[in-house]
Amino acid sequence: MEILVGKGKISEQMNGQTRDAQLEFFIPVLLGQYADVPTTYFNASDYDELLFGENPTGSMKEYFDEISYGNFSIDGTSGGWYQSTLTMSQAVDNAKQYVAEIAALSDPDFNFANYDNDGPDNIPNSGDDDGYVDGIIVVYSGCGAEWGEGNDNLWPHMSSLGSYEYETNDVGANGSNIIVSSYAVCPELAGGGDCYTDIIRPMGVYAMNLVIS
């Protein structure tokens, strides 16, 4: 696959055929608190700033704008914390169940139809989209297991919910309820064996998982 940039849009070329790639990506960021982790240190407004705002170290939105030469835009809204019924160890054993539960808990606060924007007109929920949320980010309590030894939390990753797909209460333009499947999970805090409770996890891990997805 070759990525082509030109005439104000990004295209993907595969097997001799070219199609317009998605130019605008809207993503909900859902903060999910484990049942056995009573304390969180950052809130939804902190993640709006980290991922979509303007800040001295650069947000994820600013990063993608820069590396795409202004051709790709990402934006979103953060919500939560949402209280899971699962403990940390239970979420590690079944991350998809944890993500699906957080999606369900957030449903009253989000119109997920606004986050289905993979059709060719780049207009969310316009009738040419596939009925699935393009992706969600779930921020989990604590710091990630990948940072170092002594941490039994989740590893940041992206995947799809499979049999845990969540059908939202929001009806899309095609008349069917919008479905959540593609997701990324990322930690609240920097640090590994010892979490840095005063340092939010930098945006790089979020950007990496979105690129992979």
In 3-state terms, what secondary structure has residue 14? strand
Q: Looking at residue 108, what is its pLDDT?
A: 97
How wide is the angle at C-alpha 199 spanned by C-alphas 195 and 205, nearest 5°? 85
Q: What is the pLDDT of residues 105-162, one digit of tens each?
A: 999 999 999 998 776 666 666 665 678 998 999 999 999 988 776 688 999 999 999 9
∠ CA 200-40-77, nearest 5°, is 65
Q: What is the band of 88 on the pLDDT scale with cuts at 50, 70, 90? A: very high
- Closest by Cα among 119, 121, 135 to 211: 135
Relative to beta strand 182-191, strand 195-200 is antiparallel
Q: What percent of the chain has pLDDT over 90?
A: 48
What is the per-residue pLDDT for 164?
Answer: 97
Of 31-40, 64-73, 89-98, 114-123, the least confident: 114-123
pLDDT computed for residue 120 by the predictor: 60
Q: What is the pLDDT of residue 147?
A: 75
Mean pLDDT, residues 54-62 taken together = 78
Average pLDDT over residues 46-53: 89
pLDDT computed for residue 190 by the predictor: 92
What is the model's pLDDT at position 51? 87
Question: What are the domain boundaries of the chain?
Answer: 24-212
Q: What is the mean pLDDT of residues 187-212?
A: 83
**Segments of 52-165 assigned E as strands:** 73-83, 136-143, 157-160
User: What are the residue ranges of helices labelled H in the chain?
Assistant: 44-52, 60-67, 88-93, 95-106, 204-212
